[in-house]
Structure 1
């Protein structure tokens, strides 16, 4: 079992009973306390980092002598600084992160805190306490693997939750479905069987082997991530909390714009609301807003040149699609031709995404160049 699997197992065995057996007012705070205790034992740095940044992001808004603008700026800044310090490629090379580690769920709770700060500045949040905020952040099912859920939705469910056998059953089914996806498709077929096939193919058909390796990497990343998202969503349902979906058959998207509305949906919607929309309002430049949103989406994974380029390639793909797309009212095709165009778009989108993932699959730009050379027989 992987480390993440053990954590999710602890979630099911420890948190779910705690979420229902105690008196109602103590159920979710107990879940958060148990999450914090688990983090203290498993990774004290993670617990300390989350508690400090959460306290600052909440406490800064309690300072009446400070203007609202400075509150939100400082709140966002302290979260982002911690995020960059631990996710920076440069610090990896310096060996600093190796000695202290990276806090669990850092990217997820950083974006939750930024969302919270912006919405509190806009005064759109319901009346709540610091305990409510900690309950939202210290929620283990979504802390490590997402989705990046929003505070108002979590708060609403925390107030409305009641025992529901149908919801509990749906959560259990979702957990089992997610683990089946991870174990059977991800681990057995893609990680084991297909990897062995590619290895045997490498000696006689290197270009084909390289192509399959590129496809396998992107597909396996999706399957594993989607599987653990299913588990996280299911565990949340077992505790009575609904969280947003994260994937909706992205590899069936016929263009990259649609793809990013289906792939890691909570992250892409976050980038739309807190990067794309503000940039578009400030600059009136859709190109700049699109590139900015996708660059942030890339850097969310890691502050490195590889993910910066990967994010830029996603933005470039969306811009190219916008440049050449035709309004549906201008072109009327027969149904059979429309289906052909649709599925060609699906194939093109899938391969474009897989090819862009080469820059994050490899650990150096030299390896990226070698892969592209093998792939295209240059």
Structure 2
């Protein structure tokens, strides 16, 4: 990750200094240039892919079109096709992932679906480009809505107290990544692998370690991104809120990877639910799309189906079980719900922690006692 390198640290410091040294009217250009520099640093192929995406959005969202709905549908279809080809090449042909391309695709969908055409006449082009290339969140999110970003950009002000809190937040992020994930877990706890000698314990503890590493790495980088954005005077939404403390699977997805979960809720789950009136179908569609967004592979598709089925069952239980509401009054039941939710999430890591579907099935068989 670029934020752990000398280049990344110097880049953040230089961007912050340049951003606050220019007039407010030039700040979107500074953010766009900084984001473009990060993409170029990632490689020329990454820069070409980003340039093609930005050009596609400029053609569709810049001018006013007489048939705006048709243009929007063409834009969304093209975006979906392009992202599908990118995921296919990454999964089946070993192509390296482009810096932040999965996240900018979600932003691009926001732009097309919610704002459409007319960006030039409305004066939205500079802020739109800064939104897509915002350097603080370009790598791992969080994914912010355009309206919220534009409002933050317009009212950005330097405040020493906010800067102090931002630096503190970045320190938390670096501690999670460097100390907890890269040192404590990777160098110390993983050295105990094979200590028990029991296949079930080894498999279970391996999934726990994988989940902790994923959470510490991802939430740590998000902390750095949130702090970096705050140093630019821009607040971005939280992406994690103690997900392993969730007492139900819906509660877990309100705490884990929040901004991408909300994207799937708004653009997949709710439209499917409105058309079908089937909560289980909508949950399956939303989570399977989320799985394929991560990786175009059978194991991520099954991971999404696993969580979608779990969300559907949790909904049926909370809505139709006659004693479900009464049980929530008991502390023992709330602890039980937390434990069951945690075990469900840990088991689901079997799909994403392995290199193939066969390995994932093998881990689940071991956990099931076969």
Question: Where do residues 322-361 of structure 1 align in structure 2 (5 Å cutoff)?
Answer: 322-325=315-318, 331-332=325-326, 338-361=330-353
Give the match for residue 214 of structure 2: 221
Higher mean C-alpha displacement, 25-34 vs 307-316 = 25-34
In the alignment, is the contact (CA less than 8 A) between 1:21 and 1:27 conserved in 2? Answer: no
- In the TM superposition, residue 63 of structure 1 has moved relative to its aligned partner by 5.0
Task: With the length of structure 1 as denominator, give the TM-score of the two structures.
Answer: 0.90
Structure 2: gaps of 5 or more residues: none
Q: List 4+ stretches of structure 1 deviating above 6 A.
A: none
How far apart are residue 149 of structure 1 and its match? 0.7
Q: How far has the Cα of 1:44 moved from its partner?
A: 1.9
Alpha-carbon RMSD: 2.5
Distance in 1 (alpha carbons) for counterparts of 2:302 and 2:136: 31
Query: Is the CA contact (8 Å cut-off) linking 1:60 and 1:75 kept in structure 2?
Result: yes
Could you say if the C-alpha distance between residues 334 and 40 of structure 1 is closer, same or farther in structure 2, counting changes exceeding 3 Å? Answer: closer
Distance 2:90 2:229 in 1: 34
Which residue is 1:317 aligned to? 310
**Counterpart pick for 1:117 among 108, 112, 116:** 112
Whether 2:186 is the aligned partner of 1:187: answer no
Structure 1 equivalent of residue 25 of structure 2:
25
Determine the C-alpha separation between the residues in 2 that align with 1:235 and 1:193.
Answer: 30
Residue 107 (structure 1) aligned with residue 102 (structure 2): yes
Question: Cα offset for 1:313?
Answer: 0.7
Matches within 5 A, 1:254-333: 254-325=247-318, 331-332=325-326
SS in 1 for 2:188: helix
Q: C-alpha deviations, 1:339-376, integer Å up to 9, x for none?
A: 11111111111110110110111112221233233334
Give the direction of change, closer, same or farther, for the CA distance of 1:107–1:129 in structure 2 (3 Å limit).
same
> In structure 2, what is the equivalent of residue 210 of structure 1?
203
Structure 1: segments with no counterpart, 5+ residues: none
Helix, strand or coil: the match of 2:326? coil
Distance across 1 between alignment mates of 2:236 and 2:251? 21
Shift, 1:102, TM fit: 2.8
Structure 1's 353 and 179: CA in aligned 2 closer, same or farther, altered over 3 A?
A: same
Please state how far the C-alpha of 1:191 moved relative to its aligned partner: 1.9
Larger deviation: 226-235 or 20-29? 20-29
Which residue matches 1:34?
34
Tell whether 2:173 aligns with 1:178.
Answer: yes
